[in-house]
Amino acid sequence: MASTEVQTVSTPADKAKIGLAVALLVAALAGFYLLAKQGPIVQWLTLVAGLIAAVVVFALSEPGKQLLAFGRDAVREVKKVVWPTRKEAVQMTLYVFAFVVVMALFLWLTDKTLAWLLYDLVLGWKK
């Protein structure tokens, strides 16, 4: 059985960057609520500026770089997908709906048959 090891290397500088990003996020939220008397424009500008600063600081850390690389890889993989045509998608949707209807009828018929067998024939509970 093969085992895979996950190695995480976190330097003090990365920990400080993540801590700073979290502090900026908290400061942005606090500024949004504390600046309520200044008006909604100031509130939203403070929030957006704080969020942008937090994202930039996080992106400069090693975990942020890894997350961005993962995102780029995911986009690259999605571009490789061969998407169905509209006709194929409609056909598959109709197949699924038809299957659901057939399965619902089968389950209903099975339920009614078992109810008739058990209640009417075995137990004799006629309505």
Residue-wise pLDDT for 33-45, tens only, equals: 999 999 999 999 9
Domain boundaries, the chain: 11-81, 84-127
Q: Roughly how many angstroms between the first and final C-alpha of the chain, as a whole number?
A: 61
pTM over 0.85: no
Residues 6+ apart with CB under 8 A from 54: 21, 22, 24, 25, 28
Q: What is the rounded average pLDDT for all residues in the chain? A: 91
DSSP class of 83: P
- Per-residue pLDDT of 78-90, as tens digits, reads 999 999 999 999 9
Alpha-carbon distance of 91 to 85, in angstroms, equals: 10
Rounded to whole angstroms, the maximal C-alpha distance in the chain is: 79
Mean pLDDT of 56-82: 94
| Statement: residue 105 has pLDDT above 90 | yes
CA 79 to chain centre: 19
pLDDT at 122: 79
42 burial via Cβ count (<10 Å: 0-12, 13-18, 19+)? middle
- Per-residue pLDDT of 11-35, as tens digits, reads 888 999 999 999 999 999 999 999 9
Mean pLDDT of 55-78: 95
Name the strand (E) or helix (H) holding 8. none
pLDDT at 113: 94
